Structure 1
Amino acid sequence: MKKAVLSLLFCGFCAVAVQAQQTIFSEEIDIPAGYITDEVLMPPSPLSMQVLFVGGVDLVQTTPTYGYEAGIAYAKEWHDFIGFTPDETGESLGWVSVNHEMIYQDNRIGDGGGMTVFRVERDPITGLLNVVDQELEDGRAGKFFNVDFVNTVGETGMNCGGITSVVDGRIWTAEEWFRSNNGSIYNGGFSGTAGSGAYPKSPGGAENQGVRDTSNYLISSDIEGFDGLEVKKFENFNWMVEIDPRQAKAIRKQYNFGRQGFEGGAVSLDNKTIYLGVDATPAFWCKFVADEPGDFTQGKLYVYKHDLPEKWVEVDNTDPQKMLNFADEAVAAQGTMYNRVEWVAIDPATGKIFWTETGRDKPGSRWADENAAGAVHDPYHMERAIGKGLDSPNSSDYPDYYGRVWVYDPAIDSNYVWIEGGPEWDEETSPSEADYFSKHLSNPDGLNVMTIDGQSFLVICEDLNGRSYGRVPAGVANSTCELWLLDLSIDNPSVDDLIRISAVPRGAEVTGAQPTSDGKSLLVNSQHPSSANPFPFNHSLTYAIHGFDQVTLTNLQEPEFGEVEGLQIFPNPTTRKVFLSKASDLAIYDANGQRLKVFRNTSEVDVSNLPAGAYFLQTAEGETKKLIVE
């Protein structure tokens, strides 16, 4: 069994005693051997799980579409982004918005991607979330509603990430699925029924059919320069799209944000600036600044360029041609390049902006041409490449297997890495499960900030790019994706500071990660799981993790080690944790000499799952200490 300690103990050993924090619970999540699970994994009380919405099973209310009358249809699947809009009337808790990356033609929901919204209230007795019946202005009534894109802004393509404003709960959905011609929105040139690029088979429908209407699209918009503009149909895809979750309809495509393969974004506390993430290599770090707070129909668009005194270069967003070809304009502005910028989140306590760079195995060939044309690499990637003996990140050998989380600090107007993925493994064949890392961060994707007992925590979702180079143990066929917490008060955090709070079933990506407005629950998506899992874990689903209001932080004192040379451990005997005087690679043996656990570069070990008895800790250098577990 692989164990993950659900504990908020965070701080390395120092010369003097240091204050740390620890939750009142410190239970573990078991991940079965072989990393195969067919259901969502959760720690025990006080956290609990509730399935809220099941794709392909729950029925959504639809609008009149393509000449068909309003009716009902099965919700699409491949749930990704989750938005939450508080109910200011107090009649309910708020509205939940769920994106669908699944793309197929549908006469009632609409071709392309999709989105479902529903309203929830907190049950005063059980504390669970109840989906509330509604009647909308367009006459639709029920629990789940399909967002109308067809009759408002045109179809959407692969609704992936998005934005929930921390100011007022406004919602944008991101059209990640970047297209280059009309043929690619019709059938994509793909075959088969699985994978993020292929068109899955709709219930009772045809395979490999995307958006059927490929005639030119006449834009109707309140954004300067775009109203009345006729574009090729594929050019009406790949925008940020604002929706009204209360009425389940689209409001506008943000043509003034530029046409990009959007993934995520965050609204700053001034309600004027929106930072934008784009899933591409190269990806450019961008921001839109509104002329007036809350009015995103007018404002300026900028691309980040780290090597200028004024680091933001304006791109004229009143010129439709420049917005339709934004990547070319970013290169012309000599913007700073990154490797797949995905979700973006803001810490309301500090105003800092966190974002994921998911990574890609060897991105060199994907940004070398743009670099030659004037776009620049962030110094981080330049230094990292040189550290690996390469001339630059343009090298075909430049690896970026795990990705990382960055932070943009408006106070210093700069990006820097907050936590690096890994630990790094140089060999293509991963270590065996017996020798695998106790914690490993691979390809962070979904991201948010959650307040727990007054403290800000980063919520990080994994979406593994592969299984080699240490992303999962050798011989494991499943890309197990895990959900992590990270305390944002930690200076220079590492993977050891991560707290695993959930893992999704076989075949699934974990994503969404949206706290409810009352702070009691975290909404999460399990996307595209294996059909071999038992119901409902064989469908994409949205689930809630409840009980965060019962998690409290208390001050604890870490041990202070003296100047004695060699490995020291404390406490001994112990019942749960043992601390080491130095970070080490470590193995635990029982009294018969059988190796039970291996830890990499750790200064603390959880032994609460071991039966009482005598054990031996041995470092990679051969130092051995006897440990008594009570």
Structure 2
Amino acid sequence: MQSKLHFKTLIILLGFHCLNAQNIADFTSVTPASPIDSFVIPSSHTFQMLAIAGDVLTAGGTLPDTPDFTGYVPIANSSTNGYLSLNHEKAPGDVTVFDLNLNGTTNLWEVTASQAIDFTAWGDTAANCSGTVTSWGTVISCEEFAYIPGNLIDFNFDGYNDVGWNVEIDPATKTVIGKHWAMGNMAHENVVIHSNDRTVYQGADSNPGYLYKFVANTAQDLSSGDLYVFSGSKSGVGAWIQINNTTQDDRNKTIELSAAAGATVFNGIEDVEIGPDGMVYFAVKGEGRVYRFSDSDVLETTTSTVTMETYVGGMSYDINDGSSTTSVAWGNGNDNLAFDGQGNLWVLQDSGNAYIWVVKNGHTQASPDVEIFGISPTGSEPTGITFTPDFKYLFLSIQHPSSGNVANQTDAAGNVINFDDGTTLVLARNENLGAPLSINNEISKGFKLYPNPINETKQLHITGKDIKNVRLYSILGEEMLNSDYDNVSDVDLIIKNYNPGLYLLRINNQFTSKLIIE
């Protein structure tokens, strides 16, 4: 049995040619558990840190905390060259744009420029939460901060509540296109734009919260159009009710007008996405469900029929981690959503154990197919989330982790990360991110270790010039050993106290190898 498990591990590590065609959603679920200091993901995948709060920006200033929507904007539909627009859920709000590309030699992402967006001409922003990337290469950043009846916030005296809007940004020029007043004022969490470039679905992350449909007058121009709110059954048929959105007063009071229209109440609508099946999916955090609906005519108004059902949530699902099966309650807090290239729905959880769920294509409540991809570090929630056009790379952020976290987790670039502050990442399968780590005797720069794999009863020999330090980490980033040396050329390690499995051996805090203990 041990040899079979060892062979399976080797297949994963080596990245044989037959595995190169595997997709980002090909993994074995992690074991359901409470968060720890480390970022728990399958051994088939890795991550690279792109930025952490406090980093110096190339255009001046430093990177704010509380990263949220992590929107990859491809340049000419490239999966290796683009912009990354990063929201910061704080008051006043911020958006940072990175220029980045995948280095073809190192197989690592490089940030070549970074700049904060200037919102002063638009009354600033607040609580920039999630958003979307448009088909025309811009970003919608959503302000999760709404007008409070009788308490208009209008410091720039333009007649509009200063915050609570969808804000469009051009990441190429690092400028603001505008706040889209006609789309209504609410605690915006996210929007999704139909392929017709006119119809937009959105929700209010509040209680009461409501589901909206906006139809722009002109494609790729969200500055004017008609606004509708949903009324009907959450497990049946409903319709759209048009609400006024032409005057400043109308636009400031979207929530009040929705309530007066008899709209259906949802307890905190988070993300909204359109699936490959053409249906619209939206997460309701306080109800612990992801609903989906069909819209009989996306451009039709009050005569369009909406048919809605629960897609996932409200029950427990069997999670198999490769060795055992555990029934896990979905719970509340389903937040950010994204579909991958195989039609699987990725769901980030903002509460409970901060899981990253993957609902497999073909899942139904009667025949569930749900997996757990990851567990966000202690105190945090996973936020984001977008893919490159080829779906090889996933961008997300780790928001508000505990400041006392000491993960000592090594990323694909060899950086040791503690996850003790807001961190932005890119994830991929091992074979798609970073130079492959050695799984034989040769590491780099003349350093060698042998034997590898090694039986737990033997000594591990390390040779090389000027060995100053050797560290051993578990695959989850827990530091198992840390020994200093005086520029020696040979080191022998006793490893009989370590359990069989996959480890990372790091020499002089610079060169890393995978080590298999049998």
TM-score (normalizing by structure 2): 0.69
Judge conservation of contact 2:209–2:267 (CA < 8 Å) in 1: yes
Q: CA deviation at 1:449?
A: 1.1
Pairing 1:174–2:142 present: yes
SS at the partner of 1:317?
Answer: coil
Judge conservation of contact 1:418–1:493 (CA < 8 Å) in 2: no
Judge conservation of contact 1:447–1:461 (CA < 8 Å) in 2: yes
Residue in 2 aligned with 1:37? 36
Judge conservation of contact 1:506–1:530 (CA < 8 Å) in 2: yes
Residue in 1 aligned with 2:49? 51
Question: Measured at CA, do residues 531 and 31 of structure 1 come closer, stay the same or move farther in structure 2, by a change above 3 Å?
Answer: farther
Q: CA deviation at 1:23?
A: 9.4
Q: In structure 2, what is the Cα distance between the partners aligned to 1:177 and 1:24? A: 34
Residue in 1 aligned with 2:395? 523
Judge conservation of contact 1:462–1:483 (CA < 8 Å) in 2: yes
Residue in 1 aligned with 2:355? 482
Question: Could you list the per-position Cα deviations for residues 534-588 of structure 1 after superposition, in whole angstroms to 9, with x for gaps in the alignment?
Answer: 354001111111129979xxxxxxxxxxxxxxxxxxxxxxxxxxxxxxxxxxxxx
Q: In structure 1, what is the Cα distance between the partners aligned to 2:132 and 2:79? A: 24
Pairing 1:456–2:453 present: no
Question: Measured at CA, do residues 23 and 338 of structure 1 come closer, stay the same or move farther in structure 2, by a change above 3 Å?
Answer: closer
Structure 2 residue identity aligned to 1:60: L
Pairing 1:147–2:117 present: yes
Pairing 1:119–2:99 present: yes
Judge conservation of contact 1:272–1:289 (CA < 8 Å) in 2: yes
Structure 2 residue identity aligned to 1:405: V
Residue in 2 aligned with 1:268? 194
Question: Measured at CA, do residues 89 and 344 of structure 1 come closer, stay the same or move farther in structure 2, by a change above 3 Å?
Answer: closer
Give the counterpart of 1:88 among 76, 80, 96. 76
Q: Which runs of 5+ in 2 are unaligned?
A: 1-21, 297-304, 318-323, 407-416, 434-499, 501-518
Judge conservation of contact 2:147–2:252 (CA < 8 Å) in 1: no
Judge conservation of contact 1:116–1:146 (CA < 8 Å) in 2: yes
SS at the partner of 2:195?
Answer: coil
Judge conservation of contact 1:156–1:237 (CA < 8 Å) in 2: yes
Q: In structure 2, what is the Cα distance between the partners aligned to 1:41 and 1:303? A: 39
Q: In structure 2, what is the Cα distance between the partners aligned to 1:99 and 1:82? A: 7
Question: Measured at CA, do residues 39 and 289 of structure 1 come closer, stay the same or move farther in structure 2, by a change above 3 Å?
Answer: same
Judge conservation of contact 1:268–1:351 (CA < 8 Å) in 2: no
Question: Measured at CA, do residues 446 and 282 of structure 1 come closer, stay the same or move farther in structure 2, by a change above 3 Å?
Answer: same
Q: Which structure is higher in strand share? A: 2
Q: CA deviation at 1:60?
A: 2.4
Worse-matched range after superposition: 78-87 or 118-127 = 118-127
Residue in 2 aligned with 1:573? none
Q: Which runs of 5+ in 1 are unaligned?
A: 1-20, 63-71, 104-111, 133-142, 185-213, 220-229, 360-399, 425-433, 465-478, 552-610, 612-630
SS at the partner of 2:232?
Answer: coil
Residue in 2 aligned with 1:156? 125
SS at the partner of 1:77?
Answer: coil
Give the counterpart of 1:237 among 163, 167, 182. 163
Q: CA deviation at 1:352?
A: 1.4
Structure 2 residue identity aligned to 1:358: K
Pairing 1:329–2:257 present: yes
Question: Measured at CA, do residues 356 and 90 of structure 1 come closer, stay the same or move farther in structure 2, by a change above 3 Å?
Answer: closer
Question: Could you list the per-position Cα deviations for residues 219-256 of structure 1 after superposition, in whole angstroms to 9, with x for gaps in the alignment?
Answer: 3xxxxxxxxxx35xxx1111111111112222111110
**Number of matched pairs:** 388
Residue in 2 aligned with 1:419? 312
Worse-matched range after superposition: 116-125 or 270-279 = 116-125
Q: In structure 2, what is the Cα distance between the partners aligned to 1:346 and 1:114? A: 27
Worse-matched range after superposition: 532-541 or 410-419 = 410-419
Question: Measured at CA, do residues 89 and 458 of structure 1 come closer, stay the same or move farther in structure 2, by a change above 3 Å?
Answer: closer
Judge conservation of contact 1:519–1:548 (CA < 8 Å) in 2: no
Structure 2 residue identity aligned to 1:543: L
Pairing 1:351–2:278 present: yes
Residue in 2 aligned with 1:560? none
Question: Measured at CA, do residues 77 and 183 of structure 1 come closer, stay the same or move farther in structure 2, by a change above 3 Å?
Answer: farther
Question: Could you list the per-position Cα deviations for residues 150-198 of structure 1 after superposition, in whole angstroms to 9, with x for gaps in the alignment?
Answer: 1x31210111111223x334311111023538999xxxxxxxxxxxxxx
Q: In structure 2, what is the Cα distance between the partners aligned to 1:23 and 1:146? A: 31
Give the counterpart of 1:258 among 178, 184, 192. 184
The Cα RMSD (Å) is 3.2
* Identical pairs, percent: 26
Judge conservation of contact 1:99–1:115 (CA < 8 Å) in 2: yes
Structure 2 residue identity aligned to 1:450: D
Q: In structure 1, what is the Cα distance between the partners aligned to 2:429 and 2:326? A: 31
Residue in 2 aligned with 1:405? 290
Question: Could you list the per-position Cα deviations for residues 273-301 of structure 1 after superposition, in whole angstroms to 9, with x for gaps in the alignment?
Answer: 00012111111110110122212122111
SS at the partner of 1:59?
Answer: coil
Pairing 1:508–2:380 present: yes
Question: Measured at CA, do residues 533 and 243 of structure 1 come closer, stay the same or move farther in structure 2, by a change above 3 Å?
Answer: same
SS at the partner of 2:57?
Answer: strand
Judge conservation of contact 2:312–2:364 (CA < 8 Å) in 1: no
Q: In structure 1, what is the Cα distance between the partners aligned to 2:395 and 2:78? A: 20
Q: CA deviation at 1:487?
A: 1.6
Structure 1 residue identity aligned to 2:402: S
Runs of 4+ with >4 A deviation: 21-26, 89-92, 181-184, 307-310, 548-551
Structure 2 residue identity aligned to 1:94: G
TM-score (normalizing by structure 1): 0.57
SS at the partner of 2:125?
Answer: coil
Question: Measured at CA, do residues 300 and 28 of structure 1 come closer, stay the same or move farther in structure 2, by a change above 3 Å?
Answer: closer
Q: CA deviation at 1:409?
A: 1.3
Question: Could you list the per-position Cα deviations for residues 314-353 of structure 1 after superposition, in whole angstroms to 9, with x for gaps in the alignment?
Answer: 1121121111111111112111111111111112x32211
SS at the partner of 1:311?
Answer: strand
Give the counterpart of 1:540 among 406, 419, 422. 422
Pairing 1:291–2:260 present: no
Q: In structure 2, what is the Cα distance between the partners aligned to 1:24 and 1:275? A: 26
